[in-house]
Amino acid sequence: MTISVWRYSHFLLAIVSSLFLLIASVTGVILAMEPITHQAKGYAVTDLNTVSVGTTINALQKKYDEVFELEVEPSGFVKASVLTQDLETKDIYIDPITSEALGEVPERPFIYSFSTNLHRSLFLKTIGRVFVGLISLILCFIAVTGIVLLAKRQGGIKKLFAKVQKEYFEMRYHVVLSRWFFIPILIVAATGVYLSAEKFDLLPKTPLLFEESTSETAAHATGKSFFETTTLNEIRSIAFPFSEDPEEYFQVSLQDKEVKVHQVTGAVVSSAPYPFVTLASRLSLALHTGEGSVLWSIVLLLASASIVFFMYSGFVMTLKRLKNTKKPPISMPDKDRCEYVILVGSETGKTYTFAQSFFNALTHSGKKVYLTELNNYTTFEAARHVIVFTATYGEGEATTNARKFETIFSGVQQPHAITYSVVGFGSLEYPDYCQFAIKVDGLLQMHSNFQPVLPLYKINNSDISDFKNWIKKWSEVMRIPLHVELSEEKKKKLKQLPFKVVKRTELNIDDTFIIHLQPLKKVTFVSGDLLHIFPEGSTISRPYSIAKIEDTLVLSIKKHDMGKASNLLYNLPLETTIHAAIETNKHFHFPKKNNSVILIANGTGIAPFLGMLHENKEVEIHLFWGGRTKASVAIYQQLLDLNLSVQNKLQLYTCFSREDNKEYVQDLVAKHPQLILNSLKNNGCLMLCGSLSMQHGVLETLEVLLASSETLQMDDLLFQEQLKMDCY
């Protein structure tokens, strides 16, 4: 069954039942409070298993003129209905040993009785109960379809509790909460269906069949009555005889059966076991209401509240999906007259946003472009270039609007040779990272009519800067200047603080310099955090990764001719004050519990690692760094030598891309497979900082290394925070 069937079923069921489900959920939250507030009265008896029924009955009969009924509530409260010496009938909570009244049984608060009626029947009596029963059944289906969707999204049932991809608040917590509350919600829904079926007599009815008991003889033989050998924890309720006539018996309801007890001898006269339907109904009621268990009541309260949240978050997700899944413009040219064809596979709409921005940029450059979904793949008479943007769903599956592509592709023959590019969108936190994009790229590679312009490009977590990096590469190869308009998500406004320039080096051979800034106000930061510089006349900030050395903030910066932030910092005189903002970058802090750490950087990406080396002298650290030439490392040599002189557990590995052997840092990593694998197997951590091209290269190398290991997987490393990346 395709993912779309599950999704549309889940969506339609939620829409159909939304109003009734909202009422049931809100009243469910209110009613879940009742057992909690009831238990808070403090009348519960903790040692019911040590108090015999006979002790309680004797105490009651001595204290009150008449006793009508004794009940042991699931909450542990012992309740008695008695006639006092003032000839008043009272329902009271008692001490089971002394029969002293602990408090009167109050009337049920209006909010609970009102909520119960609304919850059970919507104040519509029989027809309302029918609606509620149907809503409970629909909720069962919603829960099941939801968990199927979740399993597919997470990459299989075994990955259900794997780390959740970073999304906007509503989607993230729709996933997180559904994992925790799926079972409670299913229990609430299923018990609701069962109780409704019982109310409408849809369950088999089995009458109680009393059988004569031989225990009267046994009681005479042992000298002990039923009440002396039975403790209160076994009792549900006891109805006392109306008179002293020996033919009038105690009607005792136990947990699993009902017995009649002789009021004189205390012997069991007859007994009848409860049928399965009765026991199942009682269990369903307890599970549905939380009666007798504060812990389960809290679970039910949270589950009911989560349903309300799911309705809200599902609504937001639907709006975002509709908003993001933009249809091609009305002015879309004829597909058979377009030289460029963009094919999109998108599940949530994010990938469509990237494709739309690329379409706009390419159209504005004067090209005839046609944009459509992968499912709509067909012949394109004038096409010379195909660009595929696709996400992956679940365990390497196609997105809903791309699920037909593989079948269609094999049956379509293009009239011309075509160049192509494939961009995959996904998350490294999932094991099947960009798997469908890999499949599409493979299909195109195997077809003789298609030739690649660029290798398959993978973008992690919809990284806009990475997407722009691909745009730049594609533009250079195709010789088409493009300006893509994509804005970063709005972030919390950062507070700017004053910093004084205390030291700055000259430019090295790579136009790189190091600057030391002293905070003029008290501020907390660590190596790996980000410093945002706000150049005059610019609407966006430029973040730099921080090295903390003593109390000084150290940055390594490459000066660009047109770079506003880098030129601003380089031209600042010593002792000058500059305002900037620190952003906590928690995911890239030096790990505290790993046995060893491997640091990998190129160029100025070494900056945070210089601070980490300074602050962590007792941890085994391996630093891999790649520069252009041997002269490139000179600017960092003093700081590196200082750390090497005091740290016996530090190893430095360097390579240079413009020296004789022309090595990149990923090549250096590939030379030390056992070091990398052994470190990761023994709870080591690998940290990357530098350019995105370096990140891609190192990750590809790491994938090759991990392929030889039976225990290490990329997604596990990310989930366990053994792989940390901060690349731009």
Domain range summary for the chain, segments of one domain joined by +? 3-29+111-204+285-320, 325-478, 494-589, 591-728
| Model pLDDT, residue 648 | 76
Rounded Cα distance between 285 and 279, Å, is 10
Q: How far is CA 548 from the centre of its chain?
A: 33
Residues facing residue 397 across a β-bridge: 393
| Model pLDDT, residue 219 | 47
Give the Cα-Cα-Cα angle 265, 266, 270 (nearest 5 degrees): 105
| Model pLDDT, residue 5 | 61
Give the Cα-Cα-Cα angle 239, 243, 246 (nearest 5 degrees): 95
Q: Is 540 helix (H, G, I), strand (E, B) or coil?
A: coil
Whether the per-residue pLDDT at 227 is higher than 80: the answer is yes
Residue whose entry in the numeric block shows the structure tokens 């798997």: 435
The predicted-structure confidence for 130-158, as pLDDT tens digits, reads as follows 888 888 888 888 888 888 877 777 666 77
The pTM assigned to this predicted structure is 0.56
| Model pLDDT, residue 164 | 67
Lowest-pLDDT range of 69-83, 117-131, 294-308, 480-494: 480-494
Q: How much helix, strand and coil, in percent to the nearest 5, is found in the chain? A: 45, 20, 35
Instruction: Answer yes or no: are the C-beta atoms of 548 and 609 closer than 8 Å.
Output: no
Whether the per-residue pLDDT at 389 is higher than 60: the answer is yes
| Model pLDDT, residue 1 | 41
Whether the per-residue pLDDT at 569 is higher than 90: the answer is yes
| Model pLDDT, residue 618 | 78
Do the domains at 494-589 and 591-728 have one common CATH topology?
Answer: no
The CATH number assigned to the domain with range 591-728 reads 3.40.50.80
| Residue 219 main-chain phi, psi, to 5 deg | -65, -40
CATH superfamily of 494-589: Translation factors (2.40.30.10)
For the segment 682-701, the average pLDDT, to the nearest whole number, is 89
Q: Compute how many other C-beta atoms are within 10 angstroms of the C-beta atom of residue 689.
A: 26
Instruction: Answer yes or no: are the C-beta atoms of 594 and 684 closer than 8 Å.
Output: yes
Residue whose entry in the numeric block shows the structure tokens 């809100």: 26
Lowest-pLDDT range of 83-87, 486-490, 521-525, 573-577: 486-490
Instruction: Answer yes or no: are the C-beta atoms of 112 and 158 closer than 8 Å.
Output: no
The predicted-structure confidence for 40-66, as pLDDT tens digits, reads as follows 999 998 889 999 999 999 999 999 989
Q: Compute how many other C-beta atoms are within 10 angstroms of the C-beta atom of residue 586.
A: 9
pLDDT band at residue 245 under the 50/70/90 scheme: confident
Whether the per-residue pLDDT at 464 is higher than 70: the answer is yes
Instruction: Answer yes or no: are the C-beta atoms of 317 and 171 closer than 8 Å.
Output: yes
Average pLDDT, the chain: 87
Whether the per-residue pLDDT at 380 is higher than 90: the answer is yes
Q: Compute how many other C-beta atoms are within 10 angstroms of the C-beta atom of residue 383.
A: 22
Burial of 666 (0-12, 13-18, 19+ CB in 10 A): buried
Burial of 214 (0-12, 13-18, 19+ CB in 10 A): exposed
Burial of 342 (0-12, 13-18, 19+ CB in 10 A): buried
325-478 placed in CATH 3.30.360.10: no
pLDDT band at residue 392 under the 50/70/90 scheme: confident
Distant-in-sequence, close-in-space partners of 80: CB < 8 Å, separation ≥ 6: 60, 64, 67, 69, 70, 71, 91, 92, 94, 99
Rounded Cα distance between 80 and 552, Å, is 74
The predicted-structure confidence for 309-366, as pLDDT tens digits, reads as follows 988 888 888 777 766 555 544 467 899 999 999 999 987 778 888 998 999 999 989 8
Rounded Cα distance between 596 and 16, Å, is 55
pLDDT band at residue 693 under the 50/70/90 scheme: confident
Burial of 676 (0-12, 13-18, 19+ CB in 10 A): buried
pLDDT band at residue 261 under the 50/70/90 scheme: very high
| Model pLDDT, residue 217 | 46
| Model pLDDT, residue 223 | 46
Whether the per-residue pLDDT at 697 is higher than 50: the answer is yes
pLDDT more than 70, % of the chain: 91
Whether the per-residue pLDDT at 672 is higher than 90: the answer is yes
Which conformational region is residue 396 in: left (phi greater than 0), alpha (psi within -120 to 50 degrees), or beta? Answer: left
The predicted-structure confidence for 215-225, as pLDDT tens digits, reads as follows 544 444 444 68
What are all long-range contacts of 294-298, with beta carbons under 8 Å and residues at least 24 apart? 294/35, 294/36, 294/39, 297/32, 297/33, 297/34, 297/35, 297/36, 298/32, 298/36
Rounded Cα distance between 208 and 383, Å, is 80
The predicted-structure confidence for 612-622, as pLDDT tens digits, reads as follows 988 877 789 99
| Model pLDDT, residue 218 | 46
